[in-house]
Amino acid sequence: MGLSGISLLTTTYSLILQHQSLLLCLRAKGFGLDLKKDMEGVDYLSDERKKAQFDVEAMKIAWAGSLEAFQLSDRMAKLVANDPAFEKFTRPMLGRKELIKNTLRKAAHGWKLIVDLRLTEEEAKWLRLYIDEPAYTDLHWGMFIPAIEGQGTEEQKKKWLPLAKKMQIIGCYAQTELGHGSNVQGLETTATFDPQTDEFIMHSPTLTSSKWWPGGLGKASTHAVVYARLIVGGEFHGVHGFIVQLRSLDDHSPLPGVTVGDIGMKFGNGAYNTMDNGVLRFDHVRIPRDQMLMRVSQVTREGKIMQSDVPRQLIYGTMVYVRQTIVADASKALSRAVCIATRYSAIRRQFGSRNGGPETQVIDYKTQQSRLFPLLASAYAFRFVGEWLKWLYTDVKERLAANDFSTLPEAHACTAGLKSLTTSFTADGIEECRKLCGGHGYLVSSGLPELFAVYIPACTYEGDNVVLLLQVARFLVKTVSELGYKKPVGTTAYMGRVASLMQNNCAVQTAEGWLNPGAVVEAFESRAARMAVRCGQQLAKYENPEEGFAELSADLVEASIAHCQLIVVSKFIEKLQQDIPGKGVKQTLEVLCYVYALFLLHKHQGDFLATGYLTPKQASLANDQLRTLYSKVRPNAITLVDSFNYTDHYLGSILGRYDGNVYPKLYEAAWKDPLNDSDVVDGFYEYVQPILKQKLRTAKL
Amino acid sequence: MGLSGISLLTTTYSLILQHQSLLLCLRAKGFGLDLKKDMEGVDYLSDERKKAQFDVEAMKIAWAGSLEAFQLSDRMAKLVANDPAFEKFTRPMLGRKELIKNTLRKAAHGWKLIVDLRLTEEEAKWLRLYIDEPAYTDLHWGMFIPAIEGQGTEEQKKKWLPLAKKMQIIGCYAQTELGHGSNVQGLETTATFDPQTDEFIMHSPTLTSSKWWPGGLGKASTHAVVYARLIVGGEFHGVHGFIVQLRSLDDHSPLPGVTVGDIGMKFGNGAYNTMDNGVLRFDHVRIPRDQMLMRVSQVTREGKIMQSDVPRQLIYGTMVYVRQTIVADASKALSRAVCIATRYSAIRRQFGSRNGGPETQVIDYKTQQSRLFPLLASAYAFRFVGEWLKWLYTDVKERLAANDFSTLPEAHACTAGLKSLTTSFTADGIEECRKLCGGHGYLVSSGLPELFAVYIPACTYEGDNVVLLLQVARFLVKTVSELGYKKPVGTTAYMGRVASLMQNNCAVQTAEGWLNPGAVVEAFESRAARMAVRCGQQLAKYENPEEGFAELSADLVEASIAHCQLIVVSKFIEKLQQDIPGKGVKQTLEVLCYVYALFLLHKHQGDFLATGYLTPKQASLANDQLRTLYSKVRPNAITLVDSFNYTDHYLGSILGRYDGNVYPKLYEAAWKDPLNDSDVVDGFYEYVQPILKQKLRTAKL
C-alpha cells in the first residue's frame, strides 16, 4: 500500500472511530487508489474563488442584512457546527423511533445551551434554525407561546407564559383536523360551555373532527391551544382557542378522555419525520372556563358572550408576521439548494475533453447556466423581498397600534401572495437543483432529497398556495373595480396609473435597452395591470359574480402571479437604489436583478405578448440579453453562494462541501450504510442461495 | 360502545393480527366515533361512477391496448394483489437492512411463482411490475440478459444465457462510474489484454473509475457486464462490455481483487432503497479472453482487433427499445398519481357549504380541474404515444434486419425526445398530484411520496433529459439545413411543408373553432417548424457552429420540446382516427386529446405568439375552449381513472382507494407507526422530563 492508501486511512480515521465496521471495509478497499490529488485541506474551488469580481465579505453582510445580523448568525452557525451533539449525517438512516429519540436529545441539548449560555430569544431562534431538525420546540416557541401572547388576556398571559417560557409545560397549536385544513370555519371539534360547573367540555364528535397534523402534538406536548367551535346555550358562536392539558406532568401519560398519538411517516428520509405530527381526540374532556383564550371574545360565568374592544383585525397582523417568516425561510431553503448545485456544477466535469485534458466543468454549459443562475438570482430576490416584508410587518404593527387599518387589506394580500409565490418556486427550485447535480443528487448524502422533503409542506401550510393566490386575485379585482374613487396603496399603487399602463407599449429597441430599471418595472407593471383589468372585464360578463370568479379562477391565479412577480422585481430594484457598500457588490447584485427579471419575462413571455405590451422582437431581445447576463454571473457564481455563509454542517451535503472534495467523501460515505456491515447480505441464505442452487421449491420463504 | 364501535373493531381485526400493539390502541381509541357512515363494503364513489358517459370496460381495453393485453395484465395484477407475501404498506417504515431482506424475500417468492405457474416471459414481466418494488431481478432480466443477447456471440449466448435464465447466476449492468455517467467514452475502468495468459486484466485505476450506481450490483449479483476501456498492445480501442464474475457461487463472498458494496441511501422512504445500487472496484482482476462480449468487435488470441460485419447501428436499435419502455413506464407512473389525486379530489370537501349541507367536492373547483385534468389527459396521451413507439421499434427492427438504416436517426431522435418529454412531465406531474391532495398527500400512506421518489431517476438515467433534448435539437437543425435536398421522414415529415408553415397563420375565429384536429396539428407544426428554423438562422450567425450551438443551447432545448409536444399531440389525434369500440369511448378520448393540446397551447402561448402564428385573440379563444372542456371531463373523471384498472395494492394509497373510504383508513393507519407502540415516547425520561422538571443541568444528554 503506497502513500496514497495511507492518506485515505488517515483521512477516515475519525469516522472509523464512530463506525467500527467501516475499518475493515476501508482497509480492504483502500488499495491502489490514486488519491494524491484528493488530500484533506486542499480547496478544489480556490480557482473559482479567485475569479470573484466583488468583495465577498461585504456581500455576506448585504445578504445577512447588517453587520450585526451577520455576526449573530455566524456565531450561532459555528456553535452548532462545532458541536458533535448536532451531527446529522446518519439521520436519514434511522428508524422512526430512533429518529425521534435522537431529535428529543438534540432539542434538550439545544435548550441546555440556550440556558447555560444565556442566549437571547433572537440567538435561540438562530440556534434552533442551524440545528436544522424539525422538533416540537419549533411549535412550542413559534405557535403555542405566540398564540397565548396574541389571544390571551393579561391574566392568562401572567399564568401561562412563565410556565411555557421555562418549558415547565410544552405546548403545540392544534387547529387542523382530519377533515378540515384550509376552511377553519369548518372545524368540527366542539367546546360546549357547562354553566353548572363553569367548564367547557371539549369533544370530538366525528372521525373527521380528530385533530390531525399539529407538530409536537403526537408525543412531546403536555398542552395544546385547541381550536374548537364554541357552543353556549346550544348555539354556535364561532371558532376559538382553548388551552387544554393533554398529558400528565408527572409521567407524561395522556389524561383521561384524551386520545393522542403520532400520525405516521411523512415524505422523505429523516426530513419531517423528526417531528411528531399528531392526532388528538377528546371524549368529553372538561377544562375550566378561564382556559378559553379571551382577549377578543369572552364567555362570562353566566354564559354570556362578550366582545372586548380589541380590534379583530389583529389576527391579520399575526398572519402578516407568520407569512413574512415563511418568505424568509424560502430564501434560506432555496439558497441552500443553489449553493450545493452551484459548487458541484463547478466540480463536476462531463464531455468536452480536448487532447486528453480535463473535461468541461458543467457550470460552463449554457443549459446548466440557464437553469441554475435564475435560481441563484431568485434566492437573492427572495432574500430582499423578505427583508422588505419585515419592514412591512413593523409598519402594519405601528398602524394597528394607532387604529389605522387602511393598509391592512393590501398588506395582507401582498404577504399572502408572496408566501405562495416564493414557496412554490422554492419547492420546484430545490428539485431542479437536485436534477442539476445529475445522478448523485439522488443520493441522500447530497443533502438535496432531505431538503426537498422537509421544505415542500410550506406550499400547503399557513394557507394552500392556490387558495392564497385566489385571495390575492379577489383583492386585485376589487382594487380595479374601485379605481374610480379609491386610490390604490402600497404594492398596488401602480394601478393608479392604469390608463397609461394600458396604453403605452414597450420602447426597448436593443438588447442593452433592457438593462434599464424603468423599462423592466414598466413591463411588469403593464403586464400585471393588463391581466387584472382583463380579468375584471371577463368577470363583468357573468350575472353572478361568484360564479364568474369560480369559472375564471385559473386565469385569476395567473393574474395574481403577475402581480406578485412585479412586487419581487420592484423590491429588488428598490434595494439597489439604496447604498450597498463593498467593492463590486452592488454591480453584481444588479446583474442578478436583471437575470431574475428577464428570466421571468422570458418564461412568461406569453403574458407580455398576449397583453400586447411587447412585440416578439422585444421579447427576443430580452432573451438575448439574458444569455449575456449569464456570462456575467459565471465568474461570480461560487462566491455568490459562498456569501450565504453556510457551514458544511448546515448544508449537510457532500456535493456542496466548501472545499469541493466531493468524490473521496462520497466514496467514504457509501461504506457507512448499514448494508455494508457485512460482505454477504442479510437474507442471502434464505432468499438468494436457494435460487442460485435451484432449490427454491423446498425453500422456506 | 355502540354498533359503530364494534364495526370498527371488526374491520380492523385482520390488521390487528399483524400488529398486536394496535389492538390496545384501537380498543381505547374506538370510543364514540360516529362510523355509521364509514362501514366496509360501501362505495363512496358510486355516485361519481354513475356519472360516466362511456363504457368503462371498453375504455379499459383501449387503455390496455387489446383485450388480450387487458386480460393478461389484469390476471397478473390480481395474482399479486391477493398474495399477502407482496404486502407493501410497512415498506416505508423499514430500516435499510430489513428493507433489502424483505425485497430479497419478495423477489424469491415472485420467481417461485413464475417457475411454479410456468409463467411466460411476458407474464413474468407484468408480475414483476405489479410486485412494484425495485429489485436486482429488474437488472438481471432487463439489462444483464439483454446485454448478452445483444452483444454476445452465438457461443457466448449458448454458454451464459441458460445459466442466467435459470438464475444460476445473477447479473447486473455495470456501466456508470463515480465520475462519468452521460459521457460513456469518458469511462475510466480498464480491460488490458495480456497475450501471455490470454486474459483481460480488469482494473480501476482512479477513485472516479469506481463503478457507481448499477442496480443489483451492491449485494445481490454474482456477475456483471462491465464496461471498460479496452487496451491491447498499450493502445486504447474504445469501450466494450465484459462478463465478470464478482462473487463466489458458493458463499457469495466477493472474489479476490473485487471490492463491492452498496452506495447508500437514496431519496425517499422505501422507494428505490429496496435496490442495492452498488460500487465496484477491481484490483487487477483477471478474466478469460472469451468473456469480452464479441458480437461486434473481437480480440483474437494474438491480440488483434477484428470487426464483425454486424452493423454498429444495432446499438441504436437497443436504445430505441429501452427508451420506448421508459415512455410506457411514464404513462403508468403518471396515471397512478392521477388516479390517486382524482379519487381523493372527489372525496375531499372544503368550503362552499350551503345551509349546513355538505361542502363542495374539491374536484368541482376550476383551479383543481385546471391542474388535474391536463395531467389526466397527459397520462392518456403518453399511453398512446408509448403504444405507437412500440410499433416504431418493431419497424426499426425490421429495417435493421434488412440493412435499411434510413429511418434510424429520426427514430433515435424521436425516442430520445419522447423519453425526455414524458419523464420530466411525469416527475413534475406526480408532485403536482401530491399537492392536489392537500396536506394528506404528504403522508407516506398517500402513496405519492414513494411514487415520486421512486420515479424521478427516470429523468436522469438512460440519458439525462436535457442532454437528450440537445441531441434532438442537433437532429432538427440538421434536418432544417438539409431541406433543400433531403426529404424529411417520419415525425419530421412536416418540415417538408416548411414554406407554408412559415407563411400561413391560424384561421381559428371562435372557441369552437379549436375543436378541429387539423387546426390543432397545424398550430403545433407551425410553432415547431418556426422555432427550428429560427434556431437555424440564429446559428448561422456564428462563425464556429459548435460555439453557436453551445451559446444557444437553452433556445435549442425549447425548440426540441416544441417538436416533441407536436409528436405526442399528433399521435393522440392519429389514435382517434382509428376504430375504438365502446359506447362513448372515442368521444371521451377526443375531449382528453383537446384538453392535452389546448393545455399545452395555453402553457406555451409565448411560443405561439412569438412566432406570429397566433394572435392574442386566438390564444384567448383556445383558453376559453379549455375551460369548457374541463366541464366535459368532470363527469367522467372518476371512471377515466378507473379505466387504468389498478388494484388497491398496486396504487398503494389510502387516498386513492377504489371505495373512497379514506378517513377511517387514514386514522387506522396512523396507529401502526412504531412510535405509537407506547403512550410515552422512547426518550421521554432522558430528554423531556429533565426539561419539564427543570433538571436539565444535571441530566445526562
pLDDT digits (tens, 9 = 90+) for A500-521: 999 999 999 999 999 999 999 9
Structural domains present in chain B: 143-310 (2.40.110.10), 315-642 (1.20.140.10)
A32 pLDDT more than 50 = no
At A26, the pLDDT band (50, 70, 90 cuts) reads very low
**CA nearest B663 in A: which residue?**
A208
Could you give phi then psi for residue B443, rounded to 5 degrees?
-75, 140
Average pLDDT over residues A392-414: 92
* Whether the predicted interface score ipTM is above 0.85: yes
Three-state helix/strand/coil letters over B649-688: HHHCCCCCCCCCCHHHHHHHHHCCCHHHHCCCCCCHHHHH
β-bridge mates for residue B240, sequence order: B228
Which residues does chain A have within 8 Å of residue B435's beta carbon, measured at their own beta carbons? 459-460, 465
Cα–Cα dist B327/B379, whole Å: 11
Q: Write the pLDDT tens digit of every residue in A292-302.
A: 999 999 999 99
Banded model confidence at residue A181, pLDDT cuts 50, 70, 90: confident
CB-count burial class (<10 Å; 0-12, 13-18, 19+) for A250? exposed
According to the model, what pLDDT value does residue A21 have? 31
Q: What is the pLDDT of residue A182?
A: 67
Amino acid at A329: D
* Weakest mean pLDDT among A477-486, A626-635, B38-47, B65-74: B38-47
- Please spell the DSSP secondary structure of A197-212, one letter per residue: TTEEEEE--SGGGSEE
Predicted local distance difference test score (pLDDT) of residue B30 = 40
- B405–chain A Cβ distance below 8 A for any pair: no
Of A298-307, A683-692, B11-20, B455-464, least confident by mean pLDDT is B11-20
- Is B678 part of the contact surface with chain A (CB cutoff 8 Å)? no
pLDDT value at residue A183: 76
Q: Which of B34, B551, B605 sits opposite A205 (nearest CB)?
A: B34
State how far the Cα of A56 lies from the Cα of A66, in Å rounded to an integer: 14
Specify which residues A174 forms β-bridges with.
Answer: A226
The mean per-residue pLDDT over the stretch B102-129 comes to 97
pLDDT of residue B655: 98
Mark which residues 357-386 of A lie under 8 Å from B by CB. 359, 365-367, 370-371
Quote the mean pLDDT of chain A: 92
Q: How is B37-105 classified by DSSP, letter by letter? A: GG-TT--TTHHHHHT--S-HHHHHHHHHSSHHHHHHHHHHHHHHHT-GGG--TTGGGS-HHHHHHHHHH
> Which of A166, A351, A367 lies at the smallest CB-CB distance from B183?
A351
Smallest Cα–Cα separation from A232: which of A264, A266, A192, A259? A192
Return the pLDDT at B26: 35
Q: Which B residues 288-347 touch A at CB under 8 Å?
A: none
The average pLDDT across B104-123 equals: 97
Q: Does the distance separating the beta carbons of B604 and A604 come in below 8 Å?
A: no
Nearest to B283 among A31, A179, A254 (CB): A31
Mean pLDDT to the nearest integer, A160-175: 98
Distances (CA, A) of A502 to A476, A491, A523, A525, A532: 16, 18, 11, 10, 11
Question: Which among B435, B460, B681 is the nearest to A435, CB-wise?
Answer: B460
pLDDT value at position B350? 85
Instruction: Kindly calculate the radius of gyration of chain A based on its CA atoms and give it in whole angstroms.
Output: 28
- Give the pLDDT of residue A320: 87
In chain A, the percentage of residues whose pLDDT exceeds 90 is 87
A12 pLDDT band, cuts 50/70/90, is: very low
Between CA A69 and CA A75 the distance in angstroms is 10
CA–CA separation, B2 and B32 (whole Å): 8
Which residues, 6 or more positions from B575, have their beta carbon under 8 angstroms from its beta carbon?
A: B384, B387, B388, B589
Chain A: closest CA distance from residue B450 (Å)? 8
Query: What stretch of H or E contains B315?
Result: helix B314-347
- Residue B307: which of B299, B315, B316 has the closest Cα? B299
* Residue B606 cell numbers, joined: 409565448
Selected catalytic residue, list B462, B547, B574, B590: B462
Question: Is the distance from CB of A247 to CB of B678 less than 8 angstroms?
Answer: no
B-facing residues of A in 199-258 (CB < 8 A) are 204-208, 210, 213, 218-220, 222, 249, 251-254
Cα gap B294→B292, rounded to integer Å: 6
Per-residue confidence band for A8, with pLDDT thresholds at 50, 70 and 90: very low
pLDDT tens digits, residue range A565-585?
A: 999 999 999 999 999 999 999
Catalytic residue among A432, A462, A551, A574: A462
Q: What distance in Å separates residue B257's CA from the closest CA in chain A?
A: 9
- Phi-psi region at A78: left, alpha or beta (left = phi > 0; alpha = psi -120 to 50): alpha
Asked whether the predicted pLDDT for residue A370 surpasses 70, the reply is yes
Residue A668 annotated among the catalytic residues of the structure? no
A438 reaches B (C-beta below 8 A): yes
pLDDT at B278 over 70: yes
Return the pLDDT at A312.
75
B1 touches chain A (CB under 8 A): no
Tell me what pLDDT residue B5 has: 31
**Percentage, residues of chain B above pLDDT 70:** 94
Q: What is the pLDDT confidence band of residue B182, given thresholds at 50, 70 and 90?
A: low
Of the candidates B11, B68, B667, the one whose C-alpha atom is nearest the C-alpha of residue A264 is B667
Q: Is the pLDDT of residue A446 over 60?
A: yes
Please report which confidence band the pLDDT of residue A39 belongs to, taking 50, 70 and 90 as the band edges.
low
Write out the H or E segment, with its range, that includes residue A625: helix A616-633
Beta carbons of A410 and A475 less than 8 angstroms apart: yes
pLDDT score at B224: 98
Whether residues B691 and A170 touch (CB distance < 8 A) is answered with: yes
pLDDT tens digits along B621-647: 999 999 999 999 999 999 999 999 999
Round to whole Å and give the CA distance between B280 and B175: 11
- Assess A266–B contact: CB distance below 8 Å, yes or no: yes
Give residue A40's pLDDT: 64
The number of beta carbons lying within 10 Å of the beta carbon of residue B75 is 13
Measured in residues, chain B has a length of 701
Any CB–CB contact under 8 A between A456 and chain B?
Answer: yes
Share of chain B above pLDDT 90, in %: 87
The partner residue sitting opposite B210, judged by closest CB among A111, A262, A667, is A667
Angstrom distances, CA of residue B272 to CA of A443, B275, B422, B450, B570 = 10, 6, 20, 9, 34
Predicted confidence at residue A1, as pLDDT, reads 29
Q: Does A612 touch chain B (CB under 8 A)?
A: yes
Q: How high does pLDDT run on average in chain B?
A: 92
Mutation target vs A (from B367, B527, B654, B672; most A CBs, 10 A cutoff): B367
State whether residue B444 sits within 8 Å of chain A by CB. Answer: yes
> Quick one: which of A375, A112, A461 has its CA closest to B687?
A112
A15 in contact with B at a CB cutoff of 8 Å?
no
Q: Which residue has the higher pLDDT, B698 or A337?
A: A337
- The answer, yes or no, to whether residue A23 has pLDDT greater than 60, is no
How much is the pLDDT for B185? 83
| Neighbour count for residue B485 (Cβ, 10 Å) | 5
